[in-house]
Amino acid sequence: MIRCVWCRSKTAPAAVCADCGGPNSDVRLPGPGQAPDPPARDLPRGFRRRLRFLQNPYVLVGFCCGTTGKLVTAGSVLLGGVNGLSWLVGAAGGLGLCLMTIGPSLWAIGLAWSEKQIHLLRHGLVASGEVTATGEAQGGRQSFWVEYRYEVAGQQYRRTLRDLGAWVSGLEPGRPVHVLYRKKKPHQSTTWPPLGREPVRFNLSHLLEERKKARELKASRTG
């Protein structure tokens, strides 16, 4: 049995994964695996569904918030005529409206993130890379990370994929990998086939880091 690089399910060695339909590639093999097709690439339907919904915490939390908000709001309307509960009805109605606002916002953020990842896998340009380091993250739960490097137009880039399973811990430094990067933002990249999905990170520090990398890249080009 091997682990599918697209959906992470354990499956028998075959040309196509029985669970998601993705081309099977055993990451324990020494080579980089099958090279990606030219853009626009076809991605397994099961992989796209997992990335958009089943493995997208923003979408899941947004759905729960929106559904809960509708139920709370509906309950407050039904109890609106009950004497002595006006304060409770008002509080419940306000909470429901807040959840109904937060839910769709989280849903939209999660879908935007997933479409960004899917676009990179489908339309990213191809570069040759290699694994430079692997390790286990420090913390309460077991997770691993993989760092790789690649070169675009004579400039070296490094990228780290985190929150990976133990199955990637056996990757040795120097192992070649296929890398997909964005044409205008080559510091944004992923591996092909994907060793792991990038975690959803919509926070100020991450946005500032991306802006800093973009400025450094622009300065290196103009300088």
Annotated domain spans of the chain: 1-27+42-48, 56-113, 124-223
- H helix or E strand, kind and range, residue 115: helix 86-123
pLDDT at 55: 78
Average pLDDT on 112-138 reads 91
Neighbours of 130 (CB within 10 A): 14
Task: Please say if the pLDDT value at position 65 is more than 70.
Answer: yes
Mean pLDDT (whole number) for 79-99: 77
Q: Are 36 and 178 in contact (CB under 8 A)?
A: yes
What single-letter DSSP state applies at residue 191? Answer: E
Q: Which of 34, 4, 32 is nearest to 20 (CA)?
A: 4
148-200: per-residue pLDDT in tens? 999 999 999 999 888 777 767 778 899 999 999 999 999 999 998 887 655 44
pLDDT of residue 51: 83
pLDDT tens digit string along 14-28? 767 777 777 766 655
H or E element that contains 112: helix 86-123
Per-residue pLDDT at 202 = 46
For residue 1, give both structure tokens: 């049995």
Judged by average pLDDT, the poorest of 37-41, 60-64, 84-88 is: 84-88
Share the mean pLDDT of the chain.
80
Would you say residue 49 has pLDDT above 70? yes
The answer to which of 32-41, 74-83, 100-109 has the lowest mean pLDDT is 74-83
SS3 205: helix
Q: What is the mean pLDDT of residues 12-41?
A: 74
- Check: CB of residue 6 under 8 Å from CB of residue 42: no
Q: Reduced to 3 states, what is the DSSP secondary structure of residue 164?
A: strand
Bridge-based pairing of strands 176-181 and 189-192 is antiparallel
Give the C-alpha separation, 58 to 113, whole Å.
Answer: 9
Nearest CA-CA partner of 179 in 166, 165, 161: 161
Q: How confident is the model at residue 4 (pLDDT cuts 50, 70, 90)?
A: confident
Determine if residue 163 is left, alpha or beta; phi over 0 gives left, psi from -120 to 50 gives alpha, anything else beta.
left
